[in-house]
Amino acid sequence: MKRIITTLAVIFCAVIIYGQAVSKTITGVVSDEQGMGLPGVSVIEDGTQNGCITDIDGKYSIQVQSEKSVLVFSFIGMVTVKEKVKNRSVINVRLKSDAVSVDEVVVMGYGSRREKKSVAYTSSIARKAPGIRIRGNAGYAPVLGVQDFNTEGYSTVHENGYRDVTNEPLSTFSVDVDRASYTNVRRFINNGQLPPVDAVRIEEMINYFNYDYDTPKGDDPFAVNSDLAICPWNEEHYLLKVGLKGQEIEKDNLPPSNLVFLLDVSGSMNAHNKLPLLKSSLRLLVNELRADDHVSIVVYAGAAGVVLKPTPGNEKKTILDALDRLQAGGSTAGGEGLRLAYATAKEHFVKEGNNRILLATDGDFNVGVSSNADMERLVEKERDNGIFVTVLGFGMGNYKDDKMEIIADKGNGNYAYIDNLQEAQKTLVSEFGGTLFTIAKDVKFQIEFNPQKVLAYRLIGYENRLLNNEDFNDDTKDAGEIGAGHTVTALYEIIPVGAKDAGEWIKSVDALKYQKRNKKVSAANANEWLTLKLRYKQPDGQQSELMEFVIKGDVDAFKDASDDLRFAASVAGFGMLLRDSKYKGNTSFEAVRSWAKNSRGKDEDGFKAEMIRLVKTAETLHKQTASMD
C-alpha cells in the first residue's frame, strides 16, 4: 500500500508540474489613452528573459510558460502595467501617461524600474558611490544590489579646439551621415542615465534631424546652403552653418537592389530589445521592397551560414518566414559572417544596381576576426568591389559602438542605432532611399578662411572624420557617403577679427623666420568670409568632381537667423552640455530648450519636440548628479 501511495504521489506531482510547464500563446494590442496602437512597447514575461515588442499597430504575440505567468507591459513615458495570464489567450492593454517625474524613479533597465527612496544613481554618481562598480568604458552605473554586466565600447573623442587662421587657414573633413549617436544618447537618457562622454558625437546628433535645405539643381547631386549668425553661447563669436542636401529619388526610380541581410543570432542577441526588435524592424523594410529587388539572409553565431538564397522582394512571405525562424544562441563569429556576406553579395552582384550588406548586430564580435584593426582591414579590402554597408545597432549592456562605427565608416556605408520600432520606421521606411541608396561616395569638405575676417575657427564635432589638407585632392583617400535625400550639416564657431576674448582661445606661436605672414587679401575678396570646396565621386566612379562656393555677406543676430541654424545650434549646445565641453560658454539646458522651441519649424513626426523633452530629462539627471558631488 505504501508503495502504491508513493507512486500515486509521484504521478500527481508530475501532473501538476506538467500542467504548470505547458506553454500557451498570448496575443493582444497595446494602445495609449486615446486608443491608438503603440509600437515598440516592451512585453516581458515577469522573472524571465522571454519577451517581445509590439509592432507598428501595437499588436504583439508571446508564448508564456503557464497560466500563472505575469506579463509586464512597459514603454518610455507610460505607467508600467502587469497582467496575470490566468485562463486568457488575448490580453489587450491601455497604457497611461506617467505623471511621476524622473527624479522619483530609478531606471533599472529597458522596460523595468523601481521607485527610489533617495536619489537615482547615474554614471558620474556611481564613480563616487561606495559599493557600485564600473566595468568597461560606457559609464553604466547599476543600482546597489543589481549585477553590473556592462561592457559597452566607444571610441575616444577628443574635442576639436580652435585653429589660428594665420597658421591653419584650411579645414578639411569627410562628411558623416551616421546618426547612431543621437538615438543611443536618447536610449541612455530614457533609461535614467546620462550617457558616457564618448557616446556623444555632436555631428551625429545634429545630422539626426532633417533641415529645410534647397534641393539640388542641374547635374550636381547636391545643393549647398550656408548661414552666419551671432553665436548664442558666446556673443563675441559667430556661428557658421554649412548644409548639404542630397538629390531625392522617387522610390520607383531607384535602381534594383541586391541586399544581403547579415544578422547576428549569437547568444548576446537573446534579449527582447535585440533579436525580436531586429526582426520586427526588418519586417518594415521587407514591406518596402519591389519585385526587382532581391534579398539574401546570412546569419552568424558560432559559425556563419546562408539561411535564405536571393529571393525577389515581392515574395515577402518567404522572406518573412525565414526571419521568423531565427533564434539566438552561441558565440559571435562576426568576422566569418562578414566574409560570407561579402561573398554572397559578389556572387549575385547587380551591375548598375544597389549592392549592399545590411548588418544588424549589437557589435559583440568575439570569435575569429574581432579586433577593431582586423575589422577595419577586412572592410577596406572589400569596399572597392562596389558593395556598400549599412549597419544597424541594437541592444545595450554589451553594445560595441566602436566596432560598428568602423565597419560603416570604412565600408562605404552608414550607421544607425535602433532603440525602438519608431526609429526602425524612420530609418528603414521614411528614409528608405537615404539609408540604402548611395548617390555619392568619398564626399569631402575643405574650407579656406579669410584671415582679414576670421582670427580662428573651431569645427564642432567630426573629430573622427578629420582629414589632412592634402587628402582633399587625393582620390585614393576614403571619405563619407551620402544617400538619396540625405542632409549633412556642419557647424563652425568662428572668432572674428576684433573679438575681445580672442586671447583667451588663441594661443601664441613664435614668429616664423623663413615664412612670410599676413599676406594681404585683394580688395575684391575682402568681404568674403571663406571659400568652401567640395569633392565627391559617383557611386561607381574613381575620379572625383569639384564644387566650389564663396560665402560672404552680413552676420545675422541669432534671433533673426534661420530656423535651421538655430535648431542645429540647440542640438550642438545639448551635445556640449552632455560632454561638459569647455567650449560650452553660457549654454544651459534652459537656453537649449528655448532655442529649440523657437526654431522647430515643420516637425510633422515630432522628433524635434522629442529632443526638447530629452533636454528636460537630462537636466533633471544632471541636477541629481550635481547634488551628489
Q: Taking 50 as the threshold, does the pLDDT of residue 260 lie above it?
A: yes
Dump pLDDT digits (tens) for 477-495.
999 999 888 899 999 999 9
- Percent of the chain predicted with pLDDT > 90: 53
* pLDDT at res. 523: 61
Mean of the pLDDT values across residues 572-599? 96
Q: How far apart are CA 554 and CA 559, in angstroms?
A: 14
Q: Answer yes or no: is 111 within a domain.
A: no
Same domain, 367 and 413: yes
Instruction: State the helix-helix crossing angle for 316-324 and 275-286, rounded to 10 degrees.
Output: 180
**pLDDT tens per residue, range 451-485:** 999 999 999 999 999 999 999 999 999 999 998 88
In a shared domain, residues 352 and 480: no
pLDDT in tens, 20-76: 456 899 999 998 887 878 877 888 888 877 878 787 678 899 999 889 999 999 876
For the segment 395-421, the average pLDDT, to the nearest whole number, is 88
Indicate the Cα dihedral angle 251, 257, 260, 261, nearest 10°: 10
Handedness of CA 33, 37, 41, 43 (dihedral sign): positive
Q: Report the CATH number that the domain containing residue 82 is assigned in CATH.
A: 2.60.40.1120
Which residues form the domain of 237? 163-249+440-503+525-628
Boundary residue ending a domain (67, 94, 121):
94
Are 488 and 388 contained in the same domain?
no
Q: Is residue 516 part of a domain?
A: no
Q: How confident is the model at residue 196 (pLDDT cuts 50, 70, 90)?
A: very high
Q: Are residues 61 and 209 in the same domain?
A: no
Q: How large is the average pLDDT for residues 160-185?
A: 94
Taking the whole predicted model, whether its pTM rises above 0.85 is answered as: no
**Distances, alpha carbon 87 to alpha carbons 43, 54, 82, 389, 521, in Å:** 18, 22, 15, 47, 83
Q: What share of the chain has pLDDT > 70, as a percent?
A: 85
Evaluate whether residue 16 is within a structural domain. Answer: yes
Q: Give the integer Cα–Cα distance in Å for 444 and 421.
A: 33
pLDDT classification of 447: cutoffs 50, 70, 90: very high
What's the rounded Cα separation, in Å, for the pair 542 and 222? 18
Q: Give how many domains the chain has, as a whole number.
A: 3
pLDDT tens profile 285-343: 999 999 999 999 999 987 789 999 999 999 999 999 999 999 888 777 778 888 899 99
For cell 541594437, the residue is 394
Within-domain flag for 108? no
Q: Are residues 370 and 499 in the same domain?
A: no
Q: Distance (Å, rounded) from C-alpha 225 to C-alpha 212?
A: 10
- pLDDT over 50 (residue 138): no
Q: Span 537-562, mean pLDDT?
A: 93
Mean per-residue pLDDT, 230-248? 95
Q: Which of 433, 450, 475 is the last residue of a domain?
A: 433
The band of 180, judged by pLDDT with boundaries at 50, 70 and 90, is: very high
CA-based nearest residue to 300, from 345, 249, 362: 362
What is d(CA 571, CA 583) in angstroms, rounded to the nearest whole number? 14
How wide is the angle at C-alpha 103 spanned by C-alphas 100 and 109, nearest 5°? 85
Last residue of a domain, one of 77, 94, 111: 94
**Which range among 159-163, 482-486, 617-621 shows the weakest confidence by mean pLDDT?**
482-486
Q: Given a cut of 70, is residue 135 above it in pLDDT? A: no
Q: Is the pLDDT of residue 19 over 80?
A: no
> Which residue reads 557616446 in cell numbers?
199
Is the domain of 416 the same as that of 466? no
Is 34 inside any structural domain?
A: yes
The closest of 389, 326, 391, 327 to 365, measured between CA atoms, is 391
182: domain CATH number? Answer: 2.60.40.1230
Name the residue with higher pLDDT: 76 or 242. 242
> pLDDT tens digit string along 337-372?
888 999 999 999 999 899 999 999 998 776 556 677
Please tell me whether residues 243 and 259 are part of one structural domain: no
* Mean pLDDT of all residues belonging to the chain: 84
